[in-house]
Amino acid sequence: MKRGRYYRICILFLTMVSTWAQEQKGFYVPYQMPTHAFVRFNTFVANPAAPLVVNYQEHNVGLYYRNQWMGYKNDNFSLMGLSYGRNWRETSSMNLFLYKRNVTVMTNYGVVLNYGHLIHLSDNVRIGMGLNVIPSFSGLDKGRIRVADPADPLLQVGNSFDFVLQPGGYLAFGDFYLMGTAENLIDYSAGASKAMTEFRDKTFTAHLMYRKALDSRSDLLEDGYWSVAFRATKEFDGYNFGGHAMIDLPALGWANLGYTQRNGLIAGVGFNLRQQWSLGIEYENAMGVKVPQLGSTFGVYLNVQFGGDRQKRTPPAPPKPPRLPVVPAKEEPKKEEPQPLVPHNPEVKPKPVKPNQAPISVKTETMEGVPAGHYVVIGVYANPRNAYSFLQQMGKRYEVSSFVNKKNGLTYIYLGKGALSLEDAQNLMRKYMLNLDFIGGIWVLEAK
């Protein structure tokens, strides 16, 4: 229902704007975005299906500012944007990017409306498809123009309504992604009554990316991954190549390093606060590019993520059992031992006494759909993919299984058959608690 209302609002908005734009005549700015810089946030601007690769089920609101080619007198190359995005059901993504571009004396402002959908052909093969619809306005920034005659007819030209259609998608085989985007497949200027670029000058971009989740039980590395991608772009002036590498640790932050023949070297770093607030910066230097006159570029990100499983706190591990106090035995006066009725047999050896075993603490939770009993838990994950990877890894050496807590969506990995008695669960934990695979990460849960 909500999605249908959203689509109707978008169609009504585009219809009204298109009708008004028929009466407008003016200059236009061809659509162009720094897609090589959008590797962590606003990825849908670079590829309409990209948000489904790092598929966090949450909302995202962000601010972005980029000042390009600094160092010139009266330079005015900048991009400002406000974004919102949401993924749901692990198969759908909806995003928008409201932006304003300054290109010397020209100004272009509009919105990128995005929708993406993911199809699972098998466990290892996936297809992501997406579409960007970009209505915008272009015109002269008269405040930056100095003229001798204010009545110059060129200054009386109004704004131009522009429309861009941008399809894209990817084909994933395991951790490999083959991605493609037609950045300006359809771009029409109502002010000029023609396409903004000829078909031979259209921009097409392809990526070959490898993305790997970090396999670690450390809280700092949970949901983390690293990726490397190679990029090829066909533009109006020929082919441009590049690539980038990135590491993303949601508990800490991210860092990326890349290069393109058109823009040069780009580096970015960001920091996360409780997997909710993100602040990042980027720097671009035009070294080794086709147009060496370009200056440096700076960018700033501020993003907020909310409403997802990552923002929910993982339940803490149960406290360690207290040590039993040692009570010194009181000395008693020696008494004369009575003579045994049976003669002493030196060959009979006394049985060794087992050392005292302290009780193991148990955490109790009420869980729907989980058989009642005790479970020896060795891992709790918010991301189902990480839980599956850990389950496959531990399953090679131990008997392990899993269940999902429907209250918070967390996945519990446990040893043995599960639903054990308290005594069996404690014995199983004592058997493995000193194993290097489980030190500091094994405990008993009672499900009711």
Show the domains of the chain with their CATH numbers: 17-311 (2.40.160.40), 362-447 (3.30.70)
- If you average pLDDT over every residue of the chain, what do you get? 81
Q: What does the pLDDT read at residue 79? A: 93
* CA 290 – CA 283 distance, rounded (Å): 18
Range of lowest pLDDT (22-26, 392-396, 443-447)? 22-26
Parallel, antiparallel or unpaired: strands 264-273 and 253-260 = antiparallel
Is residue 121 classed as helix, strand or coil in its secondary structure? coil
The pLDDT value recorded for residue 14 is: 46
Q: What is the pLDDT of residue 19?
A: 44
pLDDT range class, residue 15, cuts 50, 70, 90: very low
Query: Could you give the CA distance from residue 237 to residue 226 in angstroms, rounded to a whole number?
Result: 32
Q: Which of 211-215, 302-306, 383-387 has the lowest mean pLDDT?
A: 383-387
Average pLDDT over residues 60-68: 93
Q: Are strands 443-447 and 362-365 parallel, antiparallel or unpaired?
A: parallel
Would you say residue 1 has pLDDT above 60?
A: no
The residue type at 308: G
Whole-angstrom distance, CA of residue 242 vs CA of residue 46: 14
Tell me: pLDDT of 18 over 90.
Answer: no
223: helix, strand or coil: coil
Average pLDDT, integer, range 86-108: 89
Q: Give the residue, 250 or 291, on which the prediction is more confident.
A: 250
Model confidence pLDDT, tens digit, residues 352-364: 544 445 567 788 8
Q: What is the mean pLDDT of residues 301-328?
A: 65
pLDDT category at 175 given cuts 50, 70, 90 is very high
Report the predicted TM-score, pTM, of the whole model to 2 decimal places: 0.65
* 398-433: b (≥16 Cβ within 10 Å) or e: eebebbbbeeeebbbbbbbebebeeeebbebbeebb
pLDDT of residue 29: 82
Q: How far apart, in whole angstroms, are the C-alpha atoms of residue 397 and residue 432?
A: 12
Q: What Rg, from alpha-carbon coordinates, does the chain have? A: 32
- pLDDT confidence tier of residue 406, bands split at 50, 70 and 90: confident
Query: Residue 214: what residue type?
Result: L
Rounded to whole angstroms, what are the CA distances from 141 to 14, 292, 294?
24, 27, 22
Predicted pLDDT of residue 31: 87
Residue 10 has pLDDT above 70, yes or no: no
Q: Which two tokens stand for residue 259?
A: 């290069």
Give the phi and the psi of residue 333 in degrees, each rounded to 5.
-65, 140
Calculate what percentage of the chain has a pLDDT beyond 90: 40
Q: Is pLDDT at 254 greater than 90 in this prediction?
A: yes
| pLDDT for res 388 | 80
Contact 36, 231 (CB under 8 A): yes
What pLDDT shows up at residue 171? 96
Torsion of CA 291, 292, 296, 297, to 10 degrees: 10
Q: Is the pLDDT of residue 20 over 70?
A: no
- H or E element that contains 45: helix 43-46
Query: What band does 177 get if pLDDT is binned at 50, 70 and 90?
Result: very high
Reported confidence tier of residue 22, pLDDT bands at 50, 70, 90: very low
What whole-number percentage of the chain has pLDDT above 70?
75
